[in-house]
Amino acid sequence: MSAFEVNLSVAAEELEFELRGHASVPWSDFLLNPRRLRGSDFLMRWSQGRWSEDLLIEATNRTAHYFALPYGPSSTAPDDVREFELYFERLDAAGIGDMKRPDLLIFRKSDEATVRSLVAAIGGAEELPFVPEESDVVRRLLSRAVIAVECENSLWRATQMPDFGSELRPMRRLGGELGLPKNAVLPTVIIKEEDRERLRIWQQARRVRIHIWHVFYDLAFGISFDRVEELIASGRIDATQQTFQAPGGATSSKAIYKVYYHYAYPLGKLEEEPSLVADHITDPNGHILPYVRFEGGRMSLSAEALDLLGHSHHT
């Protein structure tokens, strides 16, 4: 599966949720030659991911002491949906399509001039994924990073989820550890097993601590990668098998971990909600494909998140 297909894969339960009340989308009818981006659900996934990363960057940049830089391939990819897949095809052609880098790097504003000068020297942030991590520029960037961030997002209002506010209780399936039933619906911070292994390797090699920041429609939560590893190792969080579908139609079953928000720190609260704007693209044959685009919104990082950044250091 190509890097593009992996990047835009959507969980089956998200497909059902996002398209509820709509007629099924005949993916075979939508061929954006030479691209393979098909179906309103995948366009929404692309829009949602771009919006959540932009939201986190803007919130970090408004703090007094920190700023964020896009770093992973998905974060530095073009904003235009028509250019998105071509960018990933370039990654595949360069032999680095399966590279796993965290989405963002967080720096101190006292280092901003140096960091932006380094990025400008390689042609801008969009060129970062094509620069080897062993290069002098990337090593100098990473040496100044406070933390790295893997971004996740969900199409839910966290505070309205049925089990939001429920207390954890002993679960037989967890060997008596605290948890909730498998069918509980509540905010979680999600990490895929395949990403977990690659992020572990990256953190060990680059010696920059990774945090996972998960954005909902009203709240955001964060947790360190090390804490996730600890929770999994202790049996407090177990794996869930989930089916994912890619834009080209391929499906795959992947193990994911849903970490209860109880274990995470409050990352922020949306002070202004985004708008959901109707948009569309038209294929070369004139076929219109509508989707909903996320626009705007404003979030401030919590005191807990700022305190964490103030005490963060390299591994």
Token digits of residue 16 = 């059902």
Classify residue 30: in a domain, yes or no. Answer: yes
C-alpha 10/C-alpha 127 separation (Å) is: 26
Classify residue 133: in a domain, yes or no. Answer: yes
Find out whether 7 and 73 touch, Cβ atoms under 8 Å.
yes
The mean-pLDDT minimum among 61-65, 134-138, 204-208, 276-280 falls in 276-280
Find out whether 171 and 179 touch, Cβ atoms under 8 Å.
yes
Write the burial class of residue 157 (CB in 10 Å: 0-12 exposed, 13-18 middle, 19+ buried): middle
Classify residue 315: in a domain, yes or no. Answer: no
Is 90 exceeded by the pLDDT of residue 126? no
The mean-pLDDT minimum among 3-17, 63-77, 251-265 falls in 3-17
Q: Label each residue of the chain as H, E or C.
A: CCHHHHHHCEEHHHHHHHCCCCCCCCHHHCCCCCCCCCCHHHHHHHHHHHHHHHHHHHHHHCCCCEEEEECCHHHHCCCCHHHHHHHHHHHHHCCCCCCCCCCEEEEEHHHHHHHHHHHHHCCCHHHHHHCCCCCHHHHHHHHHCCEEEEEEECCCCHHHCCCCCCCCEECHHHCCCEECCCCCCCCEEEEEHHHHHHHHHHHHHHCCCEEEEEECCCEEEEEEHHHHHHHHHCCCCCEEEEEEECCCCCEEEEEEEEEEHHHCEEEEEEEECCEEEEEEEECCCCCEEEEEEEECCEEEECHHHHHHHHCCCCC
CB atoms within 10 A of CB 174: 16
C-alpha 270/C-alpha 72 separation (Å) is: 24
Higher-pLDDT residue of 121 and 100 is: 121
Say which amino acid occupies 17: F
Classify residue 155: in a domain, yes or no. Answer: yes
> From edge to edge, which strands make up the β-sheet containing 219-224?
66-70, 104-108, 147-153, 210-215, 219-224, 265-272, 298-301
Classify residue 80: in a domain, yes or no. Answer: yes
pLDDT digits (tens, 9 = 90+) for 144-167: 999 999 999 988 999 999 999 999
The mean-pLDDT minimum among 28-32, 201-205, 292-296 falls in 28-32
Q: What are phi and psi of 165, to 5 degrees?
A: 95, -10
**Confidence at residue 270, expressed as pLDDT on a 0 to 100 scale:** 94
Is 70 exceeded by the pLDDT of residue 17? no
* Number of domains the chain contains: 1
Mean pLDDT, all residues of the chain:
82
State pTM to two decimals.
0.83
**Confidence at residue 39, expressed as pLDDT on a 0 to 100 scale:** 56
Task: Provide the domain limits for residue 220.
Answer: 3-310
Residue 233's closest CA among 205, 208, 207, 200? 200
Classify residue 109: in a domain, yes or no. Answer: yes
Higher-pLDDT residue of 72 and 225 is: 225
C-alpha 141/C-alpha 263 separation (Å) is: 30
Please provide the size of the chain in residues.
315
